[in-house]
Structure 1
Amino acid sequence: MELPDLEPTLGAVIETDRGSLPFSLIHGESLIACAAWALGDAGVQLVDFATSWAALSEADEPLVLHDVLCPMTPAWFIATAAAQSASSGSVVVGVRPVTDTVKSLSEGMVGQTIDRDGLWQVTSPLVLPPEVVEAIGEGLPTTDFAELVGHLSFAGFTVETVEAPPEGRRVATPDDVRLLEALTAG
């Protein structure tokens, strides 16, 4: 798929608070390496997440946050999300449909099955326009993308979701990594 032309855009792979899974191998490479390559292939300038938030804000460029646990997110999807954010001025986040059965819980008792048609799992990327990077101030309040999306929405920023392709799914266990590797083989 052809990549859209991007204005200068910074990006960081987020691996904080994700345990040792980012160092697992998929197709013979670590998840963290695959995620970093996807950002680079998308035309995003990779910065170390240890870069000060003030420096990121002063750059006055969009910031693409890429979750290391979505290592096979295609470069074209990352670039498309970044282009959508630049066009709309909104925060843009990748999501996948929820496929697990979801139950309600009331007073410690499992209740009815919740209709999952309106449910989405936050994946990657999460694109922050320059104005949002500046408004955040001292840095991200959390590295959990779902919590961060809630925080940004509550703070009044417009958040747009875009459905990620199946290979953009988030992994949580070594078995998930093996499944993603099979899905993206060949």
Structure 2
Amino acid sequence: MSFSAIIVAAGSGSRAGEPKQWRRLGGRPVLRWSAEALLAAGASELAVVVAPGAEALAAEALTGLEGWFPVTGGATRAASVQAGLDALKAGGDARVLIHDAARPFLDAATISRVLAALDDHDAALPVLPVADSLRRGADGTMGPSVDRDGLWRAQTPQGFRLDVLRRAYAVWPEGSPPTDDVEVVRAAGGVVAMVAGDARLMKLTFPEDFAMAEALIPRQTRVGQGFDAHRWGPGSSVWLCGVEIPHDQTLIGHSDADAGLHALTDAILGAMGDGDIGDHFPPTDPQWKGASSDRFLIHAVERLTARGGRLVNVDVTLICERPKVKPHRQAMRERLAALLSLPLDAVSVKATTTEAMGFTGRGEGLAAQALATIELTGS
């Protein structure tokens, strides 16, 4: 079913403390959630209405998506909607959906219900019944109750026949901002159908709404493991888990040879299915000669964050006869917690020996293994 779409994203977000459409939710800008849903549902064109000067922000938020274009909005929501309507290529009785960027959890089923209702109506509105009791009140004192019979909570996207909406706006009185676009059509004599909305299609209005929205996002829990080993060589200190420890030898490697950070980096990358440390930082590349390994770890965390994921906890085991790790273990935990932005109790560093067996037991080298638990957005 072909349709055009408009996302209204020109608001200042005054009640949320910042423009909501650019803030990240589940690792993605709020605007992107709705744009992806509308384009995936088959929108033939998508006008994204933004505030003057915000075109670059929209381009960054929607990187990689095709079929959308920016439109400069007006001083009011109604003016922004009309700017979007003017920019559409469609005409006549084409279907058009108008959606608020601040409602990110738009799904295909809601879109289909709204579009289907346009077969027999001038406009369509997704709604939810009012479940809570309603009261009037003033100055912190409760007044009379409000009969909720026949009351509905309005959502978006609101659907229209394009020519009907354009004619309705043409006769809407200036200086009287409408509540929403279906009100414009109803006032002009149009018939507006109500279809089932979606409780998840909440509007992000206040700062606390984002915490609730994050909790609604499906997440996968994954575990990755990493292992690394380096041989001993001449030196006066060794780097382990981001901490420099005085020692009569050092670990030999292309970078600073921090086996603990290398194993942990591989664990995080492995949990994402994102290759290994050698794929991202080839030992053949001279720019990583002697590099601090915390750069590798931060890179892995940044890639996790970009995918809408988060690190839950990490566990590192160092395998060696020397140096003694226990005196430095707390410093290592604190350093990892700082690098990973984790609470201290989500970071474990342990040490063990191989009872003088193998290459670590013979003092030829040191090994490290790590586990990382992550959460990724997705079903």
> How does the TM-score come out when normalised to structure 1?
0.79
* One-letter amino acid matched to 2:194: T
Q: CA deviation at 1:52?
A: 5.8
Q: Among residues 155, 160, 164, which one is paired with 2:188 in the alignment?
A: 155
Corresponding residue for residue 3 of structure 1: none
Structure 1 residue ranges without an equivalent (≥5)? 1-5
2:200 to 148, 155, 167: 167
Does the CA contact (< 8 Å) of 2:158 and 2:181 recur in 1? no
Following the alignment from structure 1 to structure 2, what is the Cα–Cα distance between the partners of residues 22 and 16? 8
Residues 80-112 of structure 1: per-residue CA shift (max 9 Å, x gap): 211221x11320111223345432359xx7521
Give the equivalent residue in structure 2 for 1:129. Answer: 161
Counterpart in the other structure of 1:17: 11
Contact 1:21 1:173 (8 Å CA) reproduced: no
Structure 2 counterpart of 1:39, one-letter code: L
Distance 1:147 1:133, change over 3 A: closer
Match of 1:31 in 2: 30
Q: Within 1, Cα distance between the matches of 2:12 and 2:149? A: 28
Q: Find the counterpart in structure 1 of residue 123 from structure 2.
A: 91
Inter-partner Cα distance in structure 1 for 2:113 and 2:7: 17
Aligned counterpart, 1:177: 210
The amino acid that maps onto 2:88 is L
Q: Which has the higher contact order (CA 8 A, sep 6+)?
A: 1
Contact 2:126–2:154 at 8 Å: present in 1 too?
yes
* Cross-structure match for 1:72: 105
The whole-number CA distance in structure 2 between the counterparts of 1:110 and 1:59 is 50
Q: 1:69 and 1:123 mapped to 2: Cα distance?
A: 11
Offset of residue 9 of structure 1: 0.8
Residue 56 (structure 1) shift: 3.2
AA paired with 2:211?
A: R
Instruction: Specify the structure having the higher radius of gyration (Cα).
Output: 2
- In structure 1, the residue matched to 2:283 is none
Letter in 2 for 1:149: V
SS in structure 1 opposite 2:200? helix
Instruction: Provide the aligned length of Structure 1 versus Structure 2.
Output: 177
Alignment of 1:49-64 (within 5 A): 49=49, 50=71, 53-56=85-88, 59-60=91-92, 61-64=94-97
Assess, with a 3 A threshold, how the Cα gap between structure 1 residues 80 and 32 changes in structure 2: closer, same or farther.
Answer: same
Change beyond 3 A, Cα 1:17–1:102: farther
Change (3 A) 1:169 1:113: same
The percentage of counterpart residues that share the same residue type is 22
Alpha-carbon spacing, 1:111–1:52, altered in 2? closer, same or farther (3 Å): closer
Q: Equivalents in 1 of 2:133, 2:169: separation in Å? A: 38
* SS state at 2:88 partner: helix
Amino acid at match of 2:120: S
CA apart distance, 1:54: 4.0
Q: What SS is found at the alignment partner of 2:157?
A: strand
Gaps of 5+ in 2: 14-18, 50-70, 72-82, 220-379
In the alignment, which residue of structure 2 is the partner of 1:47? 47
Q: TM-score, normalised by structure 2?
A: 0.41
Per-residue Cα deviation, 1:156-186 (whole angstroms, up to 9, x for no partner)? 1111111212221222123212212212324
